[in-house]
Amino acid sequence: MPPIENVIADTTLQEESKAAPANKAAPATKTVSECPHCSKRFINLNSHITKSHTKKTVIVEAAPAKDGKKGNIAEEGEEGRKESKNALIAKSGNKAQKILCISPEVLKCLGEQFFHKEISKCEEITDGKKTDIIFTFTDGTHTNVQQKNGTGGGRGWSFNRQDLENLKIFISLKNLLKTVCLKGGGERNVVPNDKALISRLFLGEDEETKPQHVIQTKIKDGKIEYLSICPADKFIESILNHAYENCLPKRTCVHLSPLVYLQRKGGGKKDHSPDDIQAKLRAMPDCMTVINLNGTNSAQ
């Protein structure tokens, strides 16, 4: 009988044999065990666990740096899934939104110190628009909020990604992005900076889902330990105050300001659109108001 790879039944299998002389021993039995990870049953359970459920360390975005160090390290899990640093940052942001919505003491401090009114409801929005959270106040008003968590991981937070052909930009900038980000060849020509582009990419063009405020959070041990906030128009103005007059190509990125740049998304063979153009925010501008989460009625 050929080796059995996967067994679904709950019974103990016994090898069948043809009639044998009376002096031969009874056939050996094979015990089937259930995998604690996927609930399937296997004869050789240890081999299955080693092949399918042992985590491995892999290198992603492994372009060598000048100091000789390689790329960022992520974990490949049970399904052989490889996650980039961008994906991990995005997951961190989603978790932070949930935590903020169930942190009444943090919302109390934010309402008292910044809005000067009580936040009665914090609602997470999951439709993929530019607004992550909606605050509703006791007076019946509300505000849309875009939330960024952590420090951006060194390369910053992604806040927009699109197919290059769908970007509403001048043809000169489109050609520069093809040359620099997509390595399409050609000259790196001087291209005037479209300063309105930053606002369109960050806030979107749908008036109903445009954020009115931007917040940054930092989480430790499942709790928010830092929160800062700024009105969205002031946030964009602060970035534009330092925007370059001409787009600044550097290696495979095109910089619009010291804080904002465009690059090829990448993401490996499994990403369905690695050639999308991604907008990144390297760090928060200096317009943010830090909320004192110790409970005192004053912002720092």
- Say what the pTM is: 0.68
In this prediction, residue 268 carries a pLDDT of 72
Check residue 223 and give its pLDDT. Answer: 96
CA distance 1 to 279: 59
Cα radius of gyration (the chain): 27
pLDDT digit of tens for each residue in the chain (300 aa)?
555 444 444 444 444 444 444 444 444 444 556 666 655 555 556 665 665 655 433 333 333 434 444 333 333 333 334 444 444 444 555 799 999 999 999 999 999 999 999 999 999 998 768 999 999 999 999 999 999 999 987 789 999 999 999 999 999 999 999 999 999 988 999 999 999 999 999 999 999 999 999 999 999 999 999 999 999 999 999 999 999 999 999 999 999 999 999 999 998 777 889 999 999 999 999 999 999 999 655 455
pLDDT, residue 135, reads 98
